[in-house]
Amino acid sequence: MSGIWAVVPMKALDEAKERLSGVLPPALRRELAWAMLEDVLEALAGVAGLDGVAIVTVDPLAQRLASRYGARLMEEDAAAGHTAAVAAAARLLASEGRTGMTALPGDIPLVTAAEITSLLKAHDRAPAFTIVPSHDERGSNAVLLSPPDAVPLTFGENSYFPHLRAAAGRGIAPRVMRLPGIALDIDTPSDLARFFKIESRTRARALLAGNGMFGGGAEEGGVAA
């Protein structure tokens, strides 16, 4: 096996997708976060080149998904934000002697096992850093590091170019991949509008369709039911 682990930070469901509050009610936002996370875990489960998958969370319902997909639960700094959660996972994996870590968010429902496999295949030998930017080249929607703590990570809306500089600062030439499924994270109404235009068999799409969210399409400021 590769010695590479996949790490997926998961916010508490009650806090999930607050930027969609203008178009989705709280219960549907929670269900959407859960559906997208399961879409991501299903894709990861289909990747033969991973040694393991970990969910970084303190959400009490996470054990259900962890058991279903054979994932490991990590709790250190899980409630301290995306950056802290991934950093804690990187420290733990490095201390265990794992050769690498890929960190992906739980809100990229269009990700596929084929995309993750291509990310692993493109990754160089350690020390190495591979990154998939968001569709607008602002966020870092997947990072793959060997060793797991090779580059300091700081996530946020404008993390992509800072991560390229952080890798260069460690003497590592970053490899950039553009993978459309990974690139689309669902945070805002405009992200939903983009997602609506792409046919998929994801749980996220089925959930929204079942709640009448595709009848009239989506606009920047809202979603027509």
Do the domain assignments include residue 27?
yes
Do the domain assignments include residue 211?
no
Running DSSP on this structure, what letter comes out for residue 202? -
Do the domain assignments include residue 182?
yes
pLDDT digits (tens, 9 = 90+) for 173-212: 999 999 999 999 999 999 999 999 999 999 999 999 999 8
- Starting at the edge strand found earlier in the chain, the sheet holding 72-74 runs 72-74, 52-56, 4-9, 100-103, 140-146, 128-133, 175-176
Do the domain assignments include residue 201?
no
Does residue 95 surpass a pLDDT of 90?
yes
The amino acid sitting at 198 is: I
Cα–Cα distance for residue pair 38/174, rounded to 1 Å: 29
Kind of pairing between the strands at 52-56 and 4-9: parallel
Mean pLDDT, the chain, whole residue set: 92
Number of domains in the chain: 1
pLDDT digits (tens, 9 = 90+) for 130-174: 999 999 999 999 999 999 999 999 998 899 999 999 999 999 999
Residue 136: give its domain's CATH number: 3.90.550.10
> 141 near 185, Cβ under 8 Å?
yes
Query: What average pLDDT score do residues 24-49 get?
Result: 96
Cα–Cα distance for residue pair 205/61, rounded to 1 Å: 22
Do the domain assignments include residue 214?
no
Do the domain assignments include residue 153?
yes
For the record, the structure tokens of 118 come out as 């291509």
**What domain range is 174 assigned to?**
4-186
Q: Reduced to 3 states, what is the DSSP secondary structure of residue 205? A: helix
Do the domain assignments include residue 16?
yes
Q: Reduced to 3 states, what is the DSSP secondary structure of residue 213? A: coil
Cα–Cα distance for residue pair 33/38, rounded to 1 Å: 9
Do the domain assignments include residue 204?
no
> Facing residues of 29 across strands?
none
Q: Which is it for the CA torsion 119, 92, 1, 173, positive or negative?
A: positive
Query: What average pLDDT score do residues 67-89 get?
Result: 95
